[in-house]
Structure 1
Amino acid sequence: MDSITQAALGATVAGAIAGKRCNGKVLLAGALLGTLPDLDVFIDYGDDISNTVKHRGFSHSLLILLPFSLLLTAIIERIKPLEDWSFSRLWLLIAACLITHPLLDNFTSYGTQLLWPIPGYFSLSSVFIIDPLYTLPLLISLAVGMARKASLSRYCAIALCVSSLYLAWSLAAKLYVEQRTIASLDTLGIKAESVFITPTPFNTLLWRIVVLDGDEYWEGLASVLDTNQQVEFIAQKRGNWPLSVEPEQLQALKTFTDGFVRFDQQDKQLVVSDLRLGMFGNLAFKFVFAEQDRAGQWQAILPTRLAQGELRGDMSKLKDRALGDQQINASLDLCPSPCGLNTAH
């Protein structure tokens, strides 16, 4: 999730655990602890692919954060013991602020290595990386609680309950969309290799669906407010790797994306895109993996990430589609290029 959300979550968790000891310093400490795991973004692993797939690695691992919280608690107790704070309560606050960060990240689509160094990415993919409906209750509770200091911890606890209920709703909404997707694919006769479902930006009403199917993939949108249960899809080419040997970075990207990648030729460059993150015609993670020489032969290069352009298309149609407007096929209307090869209804 974004840094503001993680800081708000850390502060709220700290406030709830501190109880009567809660004050501005406790909230600030919780906010700092809540953002600490994301400091790994400043580590350069040598290339853009490694920087992408290794983010949310060791700093987000429960196997690292829990021992680290014990170490940090012991250091504080030795250097500057806190009055009225037992070792166990201080450790609980530090550990909770640290581990709720990767646990929340796990609800997004990016992929979090919760058990690093054990290989594997975890992703529930039920919340967009920025979701105001999750963040606002945390911020409101902190603001109201600071104004009414006597009930600060209570407001923090209430906010955590509300935000947790929202996460539970997101999982229920995704399950509903997943059931509709499976039924629609069966009706259309599409034999999916793999299905990826994720919320569209800033909400949990409208969901984007990506279905791998041989040399092509299908994209669709489904709102929980739809009256028509059938999901519409457009088919697009997945492309392929033109060289005989796949570089280590490409294999790492495939593992990170669980195979949800697309290959495109753009201006004599081979671009590999992560199909999971972004919107139609505007994927967030795109990398140049190879270039054509004068003879037209592909030559692999050290992958570099392309800058993400501005989100194109009429975003008001996205809002209308989220409200269940079946007259708008946002899969087509929001794609600014002629990407659709054929449609299935």
Structure 2
Amino acid sequence: MDSLTQFVLGAAVSTACLGSKIGPRRAALIGGALGTLPDLDVLIPFADPVDTFVYHRGWTHSLFVHAIAAPLIGEAMVRGFKALREHRWLTYGAVYLILATHAMIDAITVYGTRIFWPFYPDPVGVGSVFIIDPLYTLPLLGVVIWALFKRQWTRPLKRGVAAALILSTAYMGLSMVLQQRMEVRAAKVFSEAGIEPDRVFAIAAPFNTVLWKVIGLEDDRYHNVYLSFLDGEDAPTIYSHPRHPELTACLDDSPARDKLVWFSRGFYRADLVEGKVVLSDLRMGLTPGYAFRFAVAQSGQDGFDPIVPERDYSHRRSTEGDLAWLQARMAGMPAVRAAEAQLETAEALPGLADASTCGRG
């Protein structure tokens, strides 16, 4: 999740656990700081952009690492605050909850978080909440601001903090239920259109859980459909795009390709852009402006040669008309996403597939 959300979640958890011991203001500030601690892994230098992408939210987000770190950080707090010296185990537990809740809400987003490292090294990424979701953050922000203006622990503040934590946690749980419902609905939409994808994955659209992007994945193509809980009886538009598996088949000796295939859990596409093979993670961003695109190979004399990975910025993340389209679809109104419909038409032009072969582009 975004840094503000991580701060206010950590602050709220700390206030709930330690506010009565060291005061709500101190508890909120300490919890907020600790709540952002796992994301300091962004300061770790990695070999290339792909490693930076796939290894973020790694060991610093592990629940097992947090179990080791909590007594160390907690003991420093016990020694630093006289009021905590008789509450050592409470302090340890509070630190663990602050760190662990950071990792757990990150795992609810689609990016993926290695919360079980090193015993289970793959990232967990549910995708039922966007990285910024006001409905989750605002209740926590409200009680944290309240706590920052209070020196003394009061019963109304205690109830407010508890209510905010319960509501935000319930919202996360509800989002996963909604995600399952959307995947079932999308499978029906695909079936009625004569499409039988191998996998269906629903992802919360930006800033809300009313509108969902659902990907239907096949070997050589994928289908996007955008479903709102406020939709009427009109059949939703399905956008179909090629994945160009023939491009990645040429890259058996590319570690960058292997990492991206693993991290995306197979939800990726390949494109030939100015003689370079570019892989995009289909889960993050809207077609074609995916948030994470990497050039991993370039055309050579005998095909494609792996290169040091590069971020590809050839597509904007959003295009003209996307905001109006997003608002219309959130409200359940039929709307065609122009940028994606135009791309779908261009991809279907004769000869385009011939340009994306295992040989030189």
Give the aligned partner of residue 5 of structure 1: 5
For 2:139 and 2:77, the matched residues in 1 are separated by 31
CA contact (8 A) 1:15 1:152 kept: no
CA contact (8 A) 1:7 1:35 kept: yes
For 1:133 and 1:83, the matched residues in 2 are separated by 35
Instruction: Give the letter for the 1:320 counterpart.
Output: A
Could you report, residue by residue, the CA deviation over 1:84-136 in whole angstroms, capped at 9, with x for unpaired residues? Answer: 45111111111111100010001100011111112222111100011111111
Give the aligned partner of residue 324 of structure 2: 316
For 1:309 and 1:235, the matched residues in 2 are separated by 20
The residue matched to 1:26 in structure 2 has which SS?
Answer: helix
Which region of structure 1 is more displaced relative to structure 2, 128-137 or 149-158?
Answer: 149-158
Residue 300 of structure 1 pairs with residue 306 of structure 2: yes
The residue matched to 1:164 in structure 2 has which SS?
Answer: helix
What is the CA-CA distance between 1:141 and the residue it aligns to? 1.6
Give the aligned partner of residue 87 of structure 1: 88
What is the CA-CA distance between 1:81 and the residue it aligns to? 5.0
For 2:76 and 2:191, the matched residues in 1 are separated by 58
CA contact (8 A) 2:285 2:317 kept: no
Give the aligned partner of residue 269 of structure 2: 262
CA contact (8 A) 1:226 1:325 kept: yes
Instruction: Give the letter for the 1:121 counterpart.
Output: P
RMSD across aligned positions (CA)? 2.0
CA contact (8 A) 2:110 2:127 kept: yes
Identity %: 31
What is the CA-CA distance between 1:289 and the residue it aligns to? 0.7
CA contact (8 A) 1:180 1:231 kept: no
The residue matched to 1:106 in structure 2 has which SS?
Answer: helix
Give the aligned partner of residue 143 of structure 1: 145
The 5 Å alignment of 1:167-178 reads 167-178=172-183
For 1:188 and 1:320, the matched residues in 2 are separated by 23
Residue 110 of structure 1 pairs with residue 111 of structure 2: yes
For 2:171 and 2:196, the matched residues in 1 are separated by 33
Residue 161 of structure 1 pairs with residue 163 of structure 2: no
The 5 Å alignment of 1:20-39 reads 20-21=20-21, 22-39=23-40
For 1:253 and 1:153, the matched residues in 2 are separated by 45
The residue matched to 1:125 in structure 2 has which SS?
Answer: coil
Pair 156,229 (structure 1): closer, same or farther in 2 beyond 3 Å: farther
For 2:141 and 2:81, the matched residues in 1 are separated by 30
Give the aligned partner of residue 224 of structure 1: 229
For 2:146 and 2:341, the matched residues in 1 are separated by 43
Instruction: Give the letter for the 1:86 counterpart.
Output: H
For 1:32 and 1:6, the matched residues in 2 are separated by 9
What is the CA-CA distance between 1:19 and the residue it aligns to? 4.2
Q: What TM-score do you get using the length of structure 2 for normalisation? A: 0.87
CA contact (8 A) 1:113 1:119 kept: yes
Could you report, residue by residue, the CA deviation over 1:149-200 in whole angstroms, capped at 9, with x for unpaired residues? Answer: 5333332211111211221221222122111012222222322122221011
Pair 229,107 (structure 1): closer, same or farther in 2 beyond 3 Å: farther
CA contact (8 A) 1:48 1:303 kept: yes
Kindly tell me the number of residue pairs found equivalent between the two proteins.
337
Alignment partner of 2:244 out of 230, 235, 239: 239
The 5 Å alignment of 1:187-202 reads 187-202=192-207
Q: What TM-score do you get using the length of structure 1 for normalisation? A: 0.91
CA contact (8 A) 2:264 2:281 kept: yes
CA contact (8 A) 2:203 2:214 kept: yes
CA contact (8 A) 2:291 2:317 kept: no
For 2:37 and 2:184, the matched residues in 1 are separated by 37
